[in-house]
Structure 1
Amino acid sequence: MARTGLYKSEVKKARDTLLAMGRRPSVDAVRIELGNTGSKTTIHKYLKELEEEDGGAAVPSRTLSEALQDLVERLAAQLQAEADAQVLSARSAADSTTSRLQTEMEALRMTAADLSARLAKTDGARLHEAQAHEQTRTQLQEQTAASHALELQVRALNERLAENEQHRNSLEEKHQHAREALEHYRTATKEQREQDLRRHEQQIQTLQAELRQLRQEAIVKQEEVTRVNQEGVRLVAELSHSQQALYEQRSVAARLQQKLDTLQELANRNQMLESQLVDRSAVNEQLQASLARAEQENATAAQMLQKVEIERAALQAKLEAHESISAELRAHLRDTEPSPRKNRQSES
């Protein structure tokens, strides 16, 4: 791993060592002499500054191959620096875009989770309202059945009251007939007594016998009248009981009317609950549409992230291609560079 903090004095020392060994102080040679440490751009800059300081006197005349190799090394170093800058910029942009997309995706996930929670809460409220609606409907049906049964009871009691009224009228007619018969009997008895008194002297024996017979018949009639009166009293008592029952049935009918009013209020409340359920269903549909939009935005963000990854891979491939070209150029230069021994032979 290359160390940091390369000094100009270190580059100068490595260059002087290479010159003393009769080797050309190229960027790669200086870097190897430094132990493969330091940036090539920094080494090239320091070598250029040292060359300018020496005024070119300390550097021996270079051949065309050496000049070309130096030019290629400089171009390779500049290309490496530009590639590093582009890669660093691309990585920074990709990291920034990735961070931004991750933040947006996290926000979208939180929004989706919130929408899911709200949707679940809305579903729970809708289910609770549906259960309450069903319970109210069941109670309404039960109250309707009970009201119908009570109406049947009221109708039966009204019929029974009408029958009791007819029976009372019949008893009153019988009582009136008995009174008329008794009055008629009394009138006939009086007339008979007057006739008997006129014939008293002639038919004393017969009248006494008939009187005893009439007294017996009167006793029988009186007993019949007593029974009729007792029957009338009983009928009057039954009529009083019937009137009391009618009053109670009217009270029951009033309570039933109150229950019917309560059921009407429950029906109105049920209708209001159904309206609220329709409104909450509309809100539920809006939440589902928002969730669908959030999922679509999430998919778009994922596509953008994938596109950034593709661009990053392309830049990496481009960097690797540059490095491969630089390596080939270095290898070619090493192959074409003359060795120090051949140079000394040619000089001799």
Structure 2
Amino acid sequence: MARSGVRFEDVQRAIDELMAAGQAPSVQRIRETLGTGSFTTISEHLREWRKRREENRDVPPPRGMPAPLQELAESLWQQAQDAANEALAHYRREADDKVAEAQQAVAAAERRAEDAEQRESALSSHLTRSEERLNEQTAELGRLQADHDTLQAEATRQREVRGRLEARLDELQGELERQAQAHRQAQEELETAHQARLGQEEQRHEAAEARLMGLVDEARQERQAAEKAHAARHERLEKRLEAAKTEQQALQDALKEEEKKRRSEEQARRDAEAARVSLDEERTRLGARLEDAQAALTSRQARVEALEQQLEARLWSSLEKMQASQDRLEAAAENASGPDDAGPEEDTQAGH
């Protein structure tokens, strides 16, 4: 509730002074004009004044004045109303156009953002599939690597077998040499006495040597076959490994390209979001301009009302002056007709 310090009449008088000076009434200006009063009290009185002004906005000028003045006042009132309505309609059309443009821009930005989100979703799906393929290729590469390790182990085992065979061959050759040495020694010792037995021993030795050479040839053939098989399997594994590495590199390149596209889409979405924020700010500025235009229109209407009040005061002053002049003329006419009416009576009395 308003305090009793500042009354509504005081606020109304301050508003009239501000409007007469061409200023729009506000709480701060009214308080500066009055030099006192709280903002709450002045604000309540200002709202009451605006409410009353809105209720009496379309009330025409009071009648009871001469017809020419009445017509002039009504004409001025209608011109002021037309100018105010035209200005308000212009500002409203301009504001509506700006708001429509802003809404269209926001809709376009939202569509671009939705397109960017859809492209991002598609890219994410494609990226997921690429990662799955990369994982599969990695698993296949792991299996190939395991096979390669197995073949390496098999080759190592073959080399160990070959080493053992060669060691066995060396042992056999050493044994052969020892047997030959023993045979030569026995032959030297028993050459005379055991010539027949020496022949048998030589035959046995030749047979053993033939068997030994056969074993050596078989071992060499097995080793060569194992080496060829190992080389072939190693070559196949190398080719498969190289192909897997090539495909992995291609997948990594594709993944990098998809990541680059996703970043580009993310940047486009951020740009669209920035554009939408800018459009919201533009809409806010347009709303502020519309409010300023309405405030200016209110100020103009206030000035028109002040001019109407001044015109009405001047008209009433002119009417009062005209009425006073008419009264003076009537009084002068009465004074002028008074002596003429008294003349005959005086002549009659003089005759008597």
- TM-score, normalised to structure 2, is 0.57
Aligned to 2:258: 280
Whether the 8 Å CA contact 1:171–1:235 is kept in 2: the answer is no
Residue 100 of structure 1: how far off its partner (Å)? 1.7
Structure 2 stretches lacking a partner, 5+ long: 1-57, 320-326, 328-352
1-side partners of 2:296 and 2:73: how far apart?
19
Code of the residue aligned with 1:243 in structure 2: it is Q
Residue 124 of structure 1: how far off its partner (Å)? 2.9
Aligned to 1:269: 247
Asked which structure has the greater CA Rg, the reply is 1
Query: Structure 1 residues 290, 192: CA separation in 2 closer, same or farther (over 3 Å shift)?
Result: closer
Query: Structure 1 residues 317, 224: CA separation in 2 closer, same or farther (over 3 Å shift)?
Result: same
Pair 1:301-2:275 in alignment: no
Aligned to 2:76: 75
CA deviation string 1:156-215 (max 9, x = no partner):
212311321342354356557767877998998885499xxxxxxxxxxxxxxxxxxx9x
Query: Structure 1 residues 183, 304: CA separation in 2 closer, same or farther (over 3 Å shift)?
Result: closer
Code of the residue aligned with 2:109 in structure 1: it is L
Aligned to 1:118: 119
5 Å matches for 1:222-233? 229=207, 233=211
Residue 257 of structure 1: how far off its partner (Å)? 2.1
Aligned to 1:312: 290
Residue 119 of structure 1: how far off its partner (Å)? 2.2
Moved more, 272-281 or 250-259: 272-281
Query: Structure 1 residues 147, 271: CA separation in 2 closer, same or farther (over 3 Å shift)?
Result: same
Residue 228 of structure 1: how far off its partner (Å)? 8.4
Residue 117 of structure 1: how far off its partner (Å)? 1.6
Query: Structure 1 residues 234, 187: CA separation in 2 closer, same or farther (over 3 Å shift)?
Result: closer
Aligned to 1:48: none
CA deviation string 1:307-344 (max 9, x = no partner):
222233334445556667777859x9699699xxxxxx
Whether the 8 Å CA contact 2:127–2:258 is kept in 1: the answer is yes
1-side partners of 2:190 and 2:205: how far apart?
21
Query: Structure 1 residues 287, 252: CA separation in 2 closer, same or farther (over 3 Å shift)?
Result: same
1-side partners of 2:64 and 2:232: how far apart?
127
Query: Structure 1 residues 176, 322: CA separation in 2 closer, same or farther (over 3 Å shift)?
Result: closer
Structure 1 stretches lacking a partner, 5+ long: 1-39, 41-61, 195-213, 339-345
Whether the 8 Å CA contact 1:164–1:239 is kept in 2: the answer is no
2-side partners of 1:274 and 1:261: how far apart?
20
Query: Structure 1 residues 85, 193: CA separation in 2 closer, same or farther (over 3 Å shift)?
Result: closer
Whether the 8 Å CA contact 1:91–1:312 is kept in 2: the answer is yes
Aligned pairs, how many? 263
Residue 302 of structure 1: how far off its partner (Å)? 1.3
Equivalent in 247, 256, 260 of residue 238 of structure 2 = 260
- TM-score, normalised to structure 1, is 0.57
Code of the residue aligned with 1:76 in structure 2: it is W
Give SS of 1:282's match: helix
1-side partners of 2:209 and 2:249: how far apart?
58
2-side partners of 1:129 and 1:108: how far apart?
31
Percent identical: 16
Aligned to 1:86: 87
5 Å matches for 1:1-348? 66-171=67-172, 174=175, 191-192=192-193, 229=207, 233=211, 236=214, 239-240=217-218, 243-244=221-222, 246-319=224-297, 329=308
2-side partners of 1:231 and 1:128: how far apart?
67
CA-based RMSD of the aligned residues comes to: 4.9
Query: Structure 1 residues 318, 67: CA separation in 2 closer, same or farther (over 3 Å shift)?
Result: farther
2-side partners of 1:309 and 1:193: how far apart?
134
